[in-house]
Amino acid sequence: MKKLIPLAAAATLLLTACSSGTYAATQIPAPETTPTTPAAVAAGRACPDGKNPLASYAPDASTPAPGGVMPADSFMAKIQQRGRLIAGVSADSYNLGYRDPISGKIQGFDIDMIQAVAKAIFPDADTNPNRVELRVISSPARIPSLRDTKNPVDIVARNMTINCDRWNDIAFSAEYYRSGQKTLVQSDSTAKSTKDLSGQTICAPAGSTSYDNLKKENPAVKAVTADTDTGCLVMFQQGKAQGISGDDTVLAGDVAQDPYAKVLPQRFSDEPYGLGISLTHSDFVKFVNVVLQQMKDSGAWKTSYNKWFAAALGKAPVPPVAIYGRIPGPGQ
């Protein structure tokens, strides 16, 4: 096989060089390229109320219509008073949330979800880039960024899987995308599935469900982590890892950037994506659920999917059906 060119490393230099774009955004840190073997992860916690993890808060009579007047005591009104929505996103997950090195704009499927929420609060969000602050965060920072007591984000859109363990710390919108875990390998690999990779070093993003899923699927792999998706791709291209395991959406973007990579066909998990929101803002969760449903009903969701994923993953599936039934606890 030809020596791999560190395309991701070059891309990272372009990404970090651009600190301006269509939206206000923080500068992107260079990915960690040294393999890290994380400590054993404690067993996931049960859902705090025993509900289906996919069950979110149902919109009710108090939930304002997108684009309408926000109730004075609502979290949406506080966002309006501030003048911008603050969102935690990725800038290195190709087609999900990434910075275009030419335009400097952070874009992708997850960013479209954020832009729809912003427009529902600020009708001029399409023409006023200052209505959205995209704060670039790593996978491990997704939950802490919502729980930060000094400078939290309002919402996280960073291919985050909804599960019971996380419901103990944050709230989720209704599901907006159903992904699944696969594994990327070198294009000349003879492996047919992740079970064929025993003894090989496989990278999975830190703070994601991918690491645990990988170890369950094949305990004999040497699982390591990097803080970002690009970090795993850099390690793969530098020969520090023989593969990457993660969501099919992310791996499709990796293949688009690396001609010497392929994704094994086996899918061994379901990864339902939700938008992360603080447990203290249940009114905002309900409002976001209305926005997501409008996107699904209007065809905007399908349009976004086809723009970012159709070339790699095929035509748009039916959008995930929202599941409700969770009741906010005291103070939520």
Q: Indicate the pLDDT class of residue 275, thresholds 50, 70 and 90.
A: very high
**Within-domain flag for 94:** yes
CATH code of the domain in which 80 resides = 3.40.190.10
Domain range for 317 is: 55-178+271-324
Cα–Cα distance between 88 and 134 in angstroms, integer?
A: 6
- For the chain, state the CA radius of gyration: 19
Asked if residue 173 and residue 284 are part of one domain, the reply reads yes
β 85-89/155-157 pair status: parallel
Between the alpha carbon of residue 4 and those of residues 109, 202, 241, the distances in Å are 28, 16, 12
Asked if residue 159 and residue 277 are part of one domain, the reply reads yes
More confident residue, 207 or 249: 249
pLDDT at 16 over 70: no
Q: Indicate the pLDDT class of residue 21, thresholds 50, 70 and 90.
A: very low
Tens of pLDDT, residue by residue over 143-165, are: 999 999 999 999 999 999 999 99
Domain count across the chain: 2
Q: In this structure, how many other beta carbons lie within 10 angstroms of the beta carbon of residue 278? A: 21
> How high is the pLDDT of residue 36?
55
| Paired residues of 261 in beta bridges | 186
- How does DSSP classify residue 285? H
Asked if residue 188 and residue 174 are part of one domain, the reply reads no
Asked if residue 264 and residue 198 are part of one domain, the reply reads yes
- Angle of the 229-237 helix axis to the 7-17 helix axis, nearest 10: 140
Q: Are 45 and 165 in contact (CB under 8 A)?
A: yes
Asked if residue 296 and residue 248 are part of one domain, the reply reads no
Spell 288-317 as b/e; 16+ CB within 10 A means b. Answer: bbbbbbbbbeeebbbebbeebbeebeeebe
Tens of pLDDT, residue by residue over 104-136, are: 999 999 999 999 999 999 999 999 999 999 999
Could you tell me which of 200, 253, 203 has the C-alpha nearest to residue 228?
Answer: 203
Give the domain-ending residue among 250, 269, 288: 269
Tens of pLDDT, residue by residue over 43-93, are: 579 998 888 999 999 999 999 999 999 999 999 999 999 999 999 999 989
Predicted TM-score of the model (pTM): 0.82
Asked if residue 251 and residue 119 are part of one domain, the reply reads no
Q: What percent of the chain has pLDDT over 90?
A: 75
pLDDT at 281 over 60: yes
Asked if residue 226 and residue 252 are part of one domain, the reply reads yes
The helix (H) or strand (E) run that includes residue 110 is helix 109-121
Q: What percent of the chain has pLDDT over 70?
A: 87
Q: In this structure, how many other beta carbons lie within 10 angstroms of the beta carbon of residue 41? A: 11
Mean pLDDT of 6-27: 42
Give 118's Cβ-side CA count (13 Å radius): 26
Asked if residue 199 and residue 74 are part of one domain, the reply reads no
Asked if residue 261 and residue 126 are part of one domain, the reply reads no
Mean pLDDT of 293-319: 93
Residue 149 burial by Cβ neighbours in a 10 Å radius (0-12, 13-18, 19+): exposed
